[in-house]
Amino acid sequence: MQRLAKKWQRAGTRIGLVPTMGYLHAGHLSLVQRARQAIGQRGVVVVSIYVNPTQFGPQEDFSRYPRDLKRDLKLCRDAGVDVVFTPGDGEMYPRWGEAPDEPAREDARPTSGFSTYVVEEKLSQGMEGAARPTHFRGVTTVVAKLFNLIQPEVAMFGQKDFQQAAIIKRMVADLNFPVRIVVAPTRREPDGLAMSSRNKYLVGDLRRQATILWCAIQMARATVKKSRTFPAVKLTAAVKKLVACEPDARLDYVEFFEPDTLAPVAEVRRGTQMALAVFVGRTRLVDNAQL
Ligand code: PAF
């Protein structure tokens, strides 16, 4: 991949990257479209597909995360993607002294021979960082690796993972990666549910209950519209109560904060960013919006 990227760069070919964990949906495909717009018809759009083990906690859904490479490749081809990069664990997290294609020992974790990480220390403290302590370390590390491998001029991320996008922008600025980060709006289902590969887990009534995240955002928006400013603690309590109306939903957190700094606010007003995580059955969903 790196050799190819260097060849493209020598030829003056512009590179746009859409990093994904696969099981692609319309949200990913809109990022592909934006990447194409950004680099033009003569540039190359690369989609990376890699379910990154280091961003999953030990009790999380790494092993059951949805995967369907054949379907993803067809979607990429139809969307005009030039290259799909699908590395294996042995290439991304080399086990020292072993060939990359050598099968791992049964008991070995995919990352057992890897010991260098990229860590953002401020923006990753709250929300997803507090709920999933090693998550962002895994994200920044794998994204830094993808930037080094693919050397894109522009890389696209979805706004659904608002905190992730903020952290990646900070990492790029702090470490001088020569890449422009574009954050594209969240794509939603007709009933407001944010598109996500994990929506596949939502079967039967859980799919209906999952719209509670969007309902909570709408409620917060209506409150701000009516009251101009509103205490964050009161709005937090209202969201908690609303989520509790669904039998299988449990609020993990809701936060109201400044979109640029991610600093929590005491008073919610127009322009405040809201983010929440909710378990619907065993599935943990996240969403966010500017109020
Ligand atoms: O947002 C995602 O799908 C992942 O966190 C990313 C950026 C591809 C890193 O694995």
From the CB of residue 50, how many other CB atoms can be counted at a distance below 10 Å?
19
Instruction: Report the C-alpha gap between 34 and 217 in whole angstroms.
Output: 26
Q: Would you state the torsion angle of the CA atoms of residues 243, 244, 249, 254, taken in this order, to the nearest 10 degrees?
A: 40
d(CA 191, CA 151): 38
Over the stretch 139-194, which tens digit does the pLDDT of each residue have?
999 999 999 999 999 999 999 999 999 999 999 999 999 999 999 999 999 999 99
CATH of 197-290, one of 3.30.70.1560, 3.30.70.990, 3.30.1300.10, 3.30.930.10: 3.30.1300.10
Residue 128, helix vs strand vs coil: helix
Given this model, what pLDDT does residue 63 score?
94
At residue 195, the pLDDT reads: 98
pLDDT of residue 113: 79
- Alpha carbon 112 to chain centroid distance? 24
> Given the DSSP bridges, would you call strands 249-257 and 267-269 parallel, antiparallel or unpaired?
unpaired
The single residue listed with the structure tokens 């939603």 is 188
Q: Given this model, what pLDDT does residue 125 score?
A: 96
Which residues does a 6 A CB cutoff place in the pocket of ligand 1?
A: 19-21, 52, 55, 139, 142-143, 161, 164
Q: Look up 28 and say whether it is catalytic.
A: yes
Relative to beta strand 154-158, strand 83-85 is: unpaired
Q: Whose CA is nearest to atom 1 of ligand 1?
A: 20
pLDDT for res 99: 61
- What confidence score (pLDDT) does residue 252 get? 98
Q: What are the E-state strand segments in 146-185? A: 154-158, 180-184
> Would you say the pTM of this structure is higher than 0.85?
yes
CA 197 to centroid of ligand 1, rounded, Å: 11
- pLDDT for 26: 98
What is the model's pLDDT at position 101?
63
Give the integer Cα–Cα distance in Å for 88 and 191: 36
- Cβ neighbors of 216 (< 8 A, separation 6 or more) are 239, 242, 243, 254, 276, 278
Instruction: Name the 3-class secondary structure at 22.
Output: coil
pLDDT in tens, 48-63: 999 999 999 999 999 9
Atom 6 of ligand 1, nearest CA residue? 20
Q: What is the largest CA-CA distance in the chain?
A: 63
Stretches where the chain sits below pLDDT 70 are: 96-109
Q: Where along the chain do its domains lie?
A: 2-184, 197-290
Probe ligand 1: pick from 31, 46, 52, max atoms within 8 Å of CB?
A: 52
Q: Which of 120, 142, 159, 183 to mutate to test the pocket of ligand 1 (most atoms within 8 A of CB)?
A: 142
Closest ligand 1 atom to residue 168 Cα is: 7
pLDDT at 95: 76
CATH number of 2-184: 3.40.50.620
Which two tokens mark 4?
Answer: 């190819």
